[in-house]
Structure 1
Amino acid sequence: MIIKMRIDDRLLHGQIAYSWRGELNYEAIVIASDEAANDEIRKAAMKMSTPDGVRLAIRSVEEAAKLVMNPKLEKMKVFLIVANPKDAYRLYEIIKERPSLNVGGMAKAEGKVSFSPAVFTSKEDLSYLDKIEAMGIEIEVRQVPSETVKKYQTLRKKISD
C-alpha cells in the first residue's frame, strides 16, 4: 500500500529517510526515477541513507509502477519518491492507488519561480501538478512533517501562468 508519494529532486537523503519515517512508519521506499535507476553512484548513496530495517528499490518510472502494483507490496507501507511533477503524473496515470502527494523539494533553476521556500516550479511543473490535482489527488507542500502543511491550491493561486 502506498502511504504517500513525494516529489523531491534529491530523491532520498537523510532528512527524508528519518523525518518522514517517524510520521509515516513506512516499511519500504520505492524511488521512481529513470535517471537514478541507471546511476550506480547515486544508487549507492541512496542505499546509505536508508534507515535500518527499511527496504529500498530504485527503479525506472515504469518499473516502479509495476513494483508498487505487485500484490506482495499491498501489505507493506510504501513511501514512493519521484524527482519531479512529470514523473509523479506518469505514475498516477499507471497505478490504481491514489495516495496524497507531498511536494517537498525542487531546486531553483533558470525558468523556475519560487512556489514556497524549498520549491521552485516551471510552467511545465505547474501544468503537471494541475493535472494531478484534477485527478482528485490531495497535494500538500512541506519539506518535513514538523512543518505546517501548505495546500497546493492556496500557493498556486499566487502564481500567474
Structure 2
Amino acid sequence: MAKQLAVRVDDRLIHGQVVTQWVKVFKAQKIVVIDNNVAKDKMQKNILKFAAPPEMKVSIFSVDKAVEVWNKNQFGNMNVFVLFKDVKQIKELEEKGLKFNEITIGNMSVVGDRKLIYKSTGFTEEEAQALFDLQKDGVKIYFQTQPTDRKESLDIMTKVFPNLDA
C-alpha cells in the first residue's frame, strides 16, 4: 500500500514543473502515469521515463492495468505521485472501483472545444461535469497550477459553464 498518494491532472504529464516542484512537495519516490494511449506507445513511455529524475521509479499503466495493480498492492509501499493526462480516465477508474480522495488540477491546454477556466487550464463542458460528478462522490478536487498557488475551488467552472450540475 502506498505510504502517501498524490493525484494530479496535467496534460503534459512528467515535465519540468512536476520534477522540480510537485515531486518535492509530495516527497514522491515513484511516479505512476495512468493513460490508455501512453501505455500503448513505447516512444512516449521512454520519453516520460527519461524526463523523470534518474532515482525516480516510473510506472505507466492503462486504466485496466492500474486497477489490477491497485487491487494487488495499491501501487507499492512508497510515496506515489499519480499523473493523468485528462479527467475522463479518472472517471473511468472510479467506475471500475478505484477512487482517489483528493485530486489537484494543473495545466490542461485550451484546445478544440475547451474553454479557459483557470490560468492555463481549460475544459469542455463534459470534462467539467465529470469533475463535479467526482466531487459529488466525495473526492476533494481543486485547481492549483504551482505548489505556491492558492487552491481554487471547482466552483469557478460554473462561470464558464452555467448549466453544470454542480
Note the aligned Cα RMSD (angstroms): 1.7
Distance in 1 (alpha carbons) for counterparts of 2:92 and 2:37: 15
Q: For residues 120-159 of structure 1, what are the structure 2 equivalents within 5 Å?
A: 120-153=122-155, 155-159=156-160
**Which residue identity lines up with residue 41 of structure 1 in the other structure?**
M
Unaligned runs of 5+ in 1: none
Unaligned runs of 5+ in 2: none
Please state how far the C-alpha of 1:88 moved relative to its aligned partner: 1.2
State the identity %.
21
1:5 match:
7
Cα distance 1:72–1:132, how it changes in 2: closer, same or farther (>3 A)? closer
Distance in 2 (alpha carbons) for counterparts of 1:42 and 1:28: 18
CA contact (8 A) 2:132 2:154 kept: no
TM-score, with structure 1 as normaliser: 0.90
CA contact (8 A) 2:93 2:99 kept: no
Cα distance 1:62–1:72, how it changes in 2: closer, same or farther (>3 A)? closer
**Which residue identity lines up with residue 69 of structure 1 in the other structure?**
N
State the secondary structure of the residue aligned to 1:73.
Answer: coil
**When the two structures are aligned, how many residues end up with a matched partner?**
160
**Which residue identity lines up with residue 41 of structure 2 in the other structure?**
D
CA contact (8 A) 2:104 2:144 kept: yes
**Which residue identity lines up with residue 157 of structure 1 in the other structure?**
T
CA contact (8 A) 2:23 2:81 kept: no
CA contact (8 A) 2:67 2:98 kept: no
2:103 match:
101
Distance in 2 (alpha carbons) for counterparts of 1:132 and 1:25: 26
Deviations for 1:53-80, whole angstroms, at most 9, x for unmatched residues?
A: 2210111111122223332735221111
TM-score, with structure 2 as normaliser: 0.87
Alignment equivalent of 2:88, drawn from 86, 89, 104: 86
2:59 match:
57
Please state how far the C-alpha of 1:98 moved relative to its aligned partner: 2.7
